[in-house]
Chains A and B, each alone.
Chain A
Amino acid sequence: MQEASYKIPGGKLVKVKLSVTSEKIDRVRVMGDFFLHPEETIQVIEESLIGCKEDENSIRIVIEQVLKNSEATLIGAAASDFSKTIMMAWKST
């Protein structure tokens, strides 16, 4: 499990736990003290990221798409903060 934490300037903390197999996301947990309504959207984000390659832009787009499809509101963090932290975890090995 690779891990990274990112403190959003003036905001919340995002923490990612990541497992990568064959250069693709195998399992990911996006954690932290942000708010996301509805809360179950976090599981949808995590499932949708499975199979993603190491590309910050495409990871961010996947997250943004889930937020849009779930009509979800993310508060105290943005999709780009999640993708940034995922990349930090990816590079942490």
Chain B
Amino acid sequence: MEEFRFIDLKTHDAFTNMASDEAIMLTMKEGKAPPTLRLYRWKPSAVSIGIFQGMHDEVDVEFCKSKGIDFIRRITGGGAVYHDFTGEVTYSIIMPKEHPLALKDILESYKLLCGGIVRALSHLDIKNGEFKPINDVTVGEKKVSGNAMTRRHGCVLQHGTTLLDLDVNLMFSILKVPQEKISDKMISDVKERVTSIQEILNRHVFVDELRIALARGFSEALDIELVQGNLSTEEQQTAEKLVKEKYSTEAWNFSR
């Protein structure tokens, strides 16, 4: 059974979260970090956009500033995601590109790694979760998890969000949708396309329940042994440097 370092649920700001993922990759490239699964939350709550998206095109930056919501560009493609501190848990999985779980075919790779989410849902008594290509996990045709992958620094990184709770009105305020377009119709459309674990189970679900389910889900779906660990000093230093020089800068976040 392959071993993965498991960095259990921690809370950081957006810049440290995204910098930590890349710092692990850079350290792994040097052969100084093991394959890793991380769970993390975002405080303050934040919106992340895909690497090819325009910040002002996707995000109401002024609204975010007024509410203390951070905004950040990811190194992965895909769409804009609102990471509510109490409404979701994010994971990242990072391994060298030669690792047996780093499949060459990208769609197959999404399917394999998203299997961890499907399995996690089953541990929460949601048995009908399924991988929906390209990069989603759905329950009854509604999206509950969005995922994004990159292959760089000699590694495969996939990170993704699983929704515990969903505030559609807040989401529409953060994401750039012209106010006049926010009709009841649009809100109901989103409610038909997106769901959350709490909505599915129709009860309060603690962050810890999802945390435990995700750890078990990835461990079982990927047949990996999770070994508790933390970022090394080198990884932390690299992350701090990346926060300062990349992820907190306007040059990066507003490059498109």
The residues of A with any CB-CB pair to B shorter than 8 Å are: 11-13, 15, 17, 29-39, 42, 73, 75-76
* CB-CB nearest in chain A for B51: A39
Chain B contact residues, majority secondary structure:
loop
* CB-CB nearest in chain B for A29: B256
| B77 CB–A CB distance under 8 Å | yes
- Residues of B within 8 Å of A37, CB to CB, are 106, 150-151
Chain B, range 60-112, C-beta contacts under 8 Å to A: 75-80, 106-107
Tell me the bound Cα distance from A11 to B79 in angstroms. Answer: 12
Tell me the bound Cα distance from A64 to B37 in angstroms. Answer: 36
Contact B52 A36 (CB under 8 A): yes
- Residues of A within 8 Å of B148, CB to CB, are 35
Interface string of B1-30 (1 = CB under 8 A from A): 000000000000000000000000000000
Tell me the bound Cα distance from A37 to B134 in angstroms. Answer: 14
| B152 CB–A CB distance under 8 Å | yes
Contact B106 A35 (CB under 8 A): yes
* CB-CB nearest in chain B for A35: B77
| B57 CB–A CB distance under 8 Å | yes
- Residues of A within 8 Å of B51, CB to CB, are 39
- Residues of B within 8 Å of A73, CB to CB, are 106
A33 to chain B, nearest CB (A): 4
